[in-house]
Amino acid sequence: MRNELPMSQAVPESPPGQLPRGLPEAARRAGGMLVDRHGRHVSYLRLSITDRCDFRCNYCMAEEMVFLPRAQVLTLEECLRIARIFVALGVSKLRVTGGEPLVRHNVIWLLERIACLPGLKELVLTTNGSQLDRFAPALQAAGVKRINISLDTLRAGRFREITRVGDLDKVLRGLDAAQAAGFQRLKINTVMIRGGNDDELVHLVDFAVQRGIDISFIEEMPLGDRGLGRRSSHFSSDEALARLQNRFVLVPSAESSGGPARYWRIPGSVTRVGFISPHSHNFCDSCNRVRFTARGDLYPCLGNNDAVPLLPLLRAHPDDDRPLGEAIMHGMGIKARGHDFAHQMDTPQVVRFMSMTGG
Ligand code: SAM
Ligand code: SF4
């Protein structure tokens, strides 16, 4: 019989040696169980269910990627267990990601079960859209509320160059299917690449407006070593905003989707234009998330190498969630105050690619 959480019973008030040193007791009592050493509540988990992908986006992974052997990847049951423990500890929003989550066999089985976890308010997904034409209705039925679809260009040739293998038409068919399926919200995520797609930003916003969906522009992060550096391809949110303001009236909005994006509204349209600006508008002070990889590693900060490997614990205690819950709480004690991407544009300090941690 599995030893179910709630962790409020599993973890006593302040057992020495079990909770991270410096954990602010008052803050811990005020909300969920996950509070980092800087007093930030963690209520959002990004769960990567595979490091594999059917694309090879040139800013995200190497051309010749070596993927994890299957035995080192969490089973779907283990993914569900991790989700359940995090939700019991106070996580209310969970994003399933990857790699490409929709290439994982039986992904719908997992999503249906995560969506039902008591206490989870929102299950969302990030995808490259390549499989959405066949999965969109099933995702909606499974309880996924919102989907982010990565789309960096609307030109087929350029799409192929950036993704190295992807087919733009297939992704656009996937977007059609997602719109027809009736999700609460759909959003395009566009990584801005100087000389790569910065001439298309206006066009991409027009596209989002015509479709009545949101769009967020992301500053490229120095994650993983491509051997090229990232300084020359960096394109800042401020420059993008200035370009867009030449074409659209953009009204700043205080809305939040629970993430780091800052939003602008275009009067007369439902579209929100967001900017995720890890370089130019650091959002670490309000960070509320941690990441869990398909290899079973807990990464409290995307821009940092500190991790808690939990696969051994997961497999050593198949029927007792308590040691895992305690290890996760302990992981809050190593969450870095923030990233320092600005100084890593030539040589990244974070050696793992985004596809390995989960975006
Ligand atoms: N395969 C899915 C997709 O592409 O949406 C989910 C995983 S992907 C790693 C998640 C997001 O990370 C995508 O929007 C992708 O564009 C973004 N991303 C990948 N590498 C990045 C980098 N170095 N800097 C900024 N964003 C990156
Ligand atoms: Fe795959 Fe997404 Fe990375 Fe592109 S950004 S290679 S689709 S994981």
Q: pLDDT tens track of the chain, all 359 residues? A: 444 444 333 333 333 333 333 334 443 444 578 999 999 999 999 999 999 999 999 999 988 888 999 999 999 999 999 999 999 999 999 999 999 999 999 999 999 999 999 999 999 999 999 999 999 999 999 999 999 999 999 999 999 999 999 999 999 999 999 999 999 899 999 999 999 999 999 999 999 999 999 999 999 988 877 767 777 889 999 999 999 999 999 999 988 766 778 999 999 999 999 999 887 777 788 899 999 999 999 999 888 888 999 999 999 999 999 999 999 998 999 888 877 766 656 666 666 777 777 66
Q: Is 15 contained in some domain?
A: no
Report the side by side order of strands in the sheet with 185-192.
Answer: 251-253, 262-265, 272-276, 214-219, 185-192, 146-150, 122-127, 93-97, 44-48, 289-292, 297-299, 308-309
Residue corresponding to tokens 């986006």: 57
Residue 29: domain span: 25-357
- The pLDDT score that the predictor gives to residue 24 is 40
Residue corresponding to tokens 């992301």: 218
Length of the chain: 359
- The pLDDT score that the predictor gives to residue 21 is 35
At 318, which CATH number? Answer: 3.20.20.70
CA of 275 relative to ligand 2 center, distance in Å: 19
Which stretches does DSSP call E strand in the chain? Answer: 44-48, 93-97, 122-127, 146-150, 185-192, 214-219, 251-253, 262-265, 272-276, 289-292, 297-299, 308-309
- The pLDDT score that the predictor gives to residue 354 is 77
Atom of ligand 1 nearest to the CA of 357: 9
**Is there an atom of ligand 2 within 6 Å of 171 CB?**
no
Q: Is 5 contained in some domain?
A: no
Q: Is 17 contained in some domain?
A: no
Q: What is residue 104's three-state secondary structure?
A: coil
Q: Is 297 contained in some domain?
A: yes
CA dihedral over 224, 160, 138, 215, signed as positive or negative: positive
Q: Is 7 contained in some domain?
A: no
**Is there an atom of ligand 1 within 6 Å of 218 CB?**
yes
Atom of ligand 2 nearest to the CA of 99: 8
> Roughly how many angstroms between the first and final C-alpha of the chain, as a whole number?
35
φ, ψ of residue 187 in degrees (nearest 5): -140, 140
Q: Is 19 contained in some domain?
A: no
Q: Is 13 contained in some domain?
A: no
**Is there an atom of ligand 2 within 6 Å of 150 CB?**
yes
Amino acid 242 reads A
Q: What is residue 55's three-state secondary structure?
A: coil
Rounded (5°) CA angle 53-59-60: 30
Yes or no: say if 217 and 240 are a contact pair by the CB < 8 Å rule. Answer: yes
Predicted model pTM: 0.90
Give the whole-angstrom CA distance, residue 300 versus residue 20.
13
CA of 17 relative to ligand 2 center, distance in Å: 39
Q: Is 14 contained in some domain?
A: no
CA of 100 relative to ligand 1 center, distance in Å: 10
Quick count: other Cβ atoms within 10 Å of Cβ 274?
A: 26
Atom of ligand 1 nearest to the CA of 355: 9
Question: How many domains in the chain?
Answer: 1
Give the whole-angstrom CA distance, residue 23 versus residue 109.
36
